Structure formats: structure tokens, C-alpha cells
Amino acid sequence: MKYLVLILSTVILAACNSKKSALELKTEVIKRLPAKEANAEKNDRGYLIGIANKEMFQDPSYKGWYNSRYSEYNVDEETITKLKPVINNYTIKGFMGTWCGDSKRNVPRFYKILEEAGFDENYFELVTVGRNKKTPDNLQEGFDLLRVPTFIFYKNGKEVGRFVERPRETIEKDILKIVTGEPYKHSYDKSE
């Protein structure tokens, strides 16, 4: 009888522990959802509109500015080293316009920074918008989009900060402040 109680107690405790692990795993999956499939297309003015990925910037209409800005940018290695252990705790949603000079300058740099920091790009969704900062299917709706590019950082499904149009210091240092919880205001933040 003692052995039966001991065996049952062990089985019950083991079952409780396995449920906890499964629950923790499920919670982690919910916290960080991957980006949607890329579907951007050129509109009649030649602007890329929709969900894009970096491969789309190899189209002849975009690769000149994308590749030159990407290759000429030298990342801040010291800041990248600090980003590496924390950046993959976040999901990023970006907005840009292929018509916008700031987007053409900063989006290739942003991709290079993500690559150097080892960020899993499956968790970066980039929406390309028209000059009115909209898409036909309203992908911008609910994101309070003021300027492009805008990169919004999420942790556990909640926005923790955003980079808007241009850096306050450097792109890397701005990102580091956002993902480490340091005080940071983007260039157009008027809050106190």
C-alpha cells in the first residue's frame, strides 16, 4: 500500500510539472507572433504597396538605392553587441514608402542592423504605404502613423516604443534604448 501511494504521488507530481511546462510554452508562442506573408505589389506610380520583405527591394526599381545604402552603412559594433542578447525578445512592425527619401535611407540601414544583431526577421513585418501613408486594405489602420519610416517595437504583444523617420542619436542607439527600457522619445513625440 505504501508503494502504491508513493507511485501515485510521483505520477501526479510529474503530470503537474508537464502541464506547467506546456502552459509556459503556449504562453511564449502567444507572446511573439511571426509576420504575415509578403504580398506587396507596385502600384501605377511604381510605389511598392503592401507587406514587403527585403527580397522585394532587389526589383530594378528599388535595388539601386537599397543596395547602395545597405552596403555603405557601417554599423556601430559596440551597440550591436549590446543589442544581440535582447533584440529577439521583440516583434517589430515597420512602415515605409518607396517614394520617401527618409525611408530609402533608413530602411536598408535598419535591415543591416537587424542582420548584424542576429534578429529573426520572421518577426519583422514591413508595410509599404503610398504617399497618403495608407494601403488599399488599410494595413496602417490603428497604428497612428505620422511619418515614414516608422518601426514599432512590441514585447508580449504590447508596444514598448517606436522609431519615427530619423534617429535621435543613431538608429542602433535608438533601438537599444527602446529594447532596454531606457528613456526614449522619437523625433515627433511631444509627450512630457
DSSP annotation of 56 reads G
Using one digit for the tens of pLDDT, what is the confidence trace for 68-121? 999 999 999 999 999 999 999 999 999 999 999 999 999 999 999 999 999 999
Q: Tell me the C-alpha distance between 32 and 38, whole Å.
A: 18
Give the pLDDT band of residue 190 (cuts 50, 70, 90): confident
Residue 29 pLDDT: 39
* Residue ranges covered by each domain of the chain: 54-180
Q: Domain 54-180, what fold?
A: Glutaredoxin (3.40.30)
Q: Is the whole model's pTM more than 0.85, yes or no?
A: no
Cα–Cα distance, 79 to 58 (Å, whole number): 28
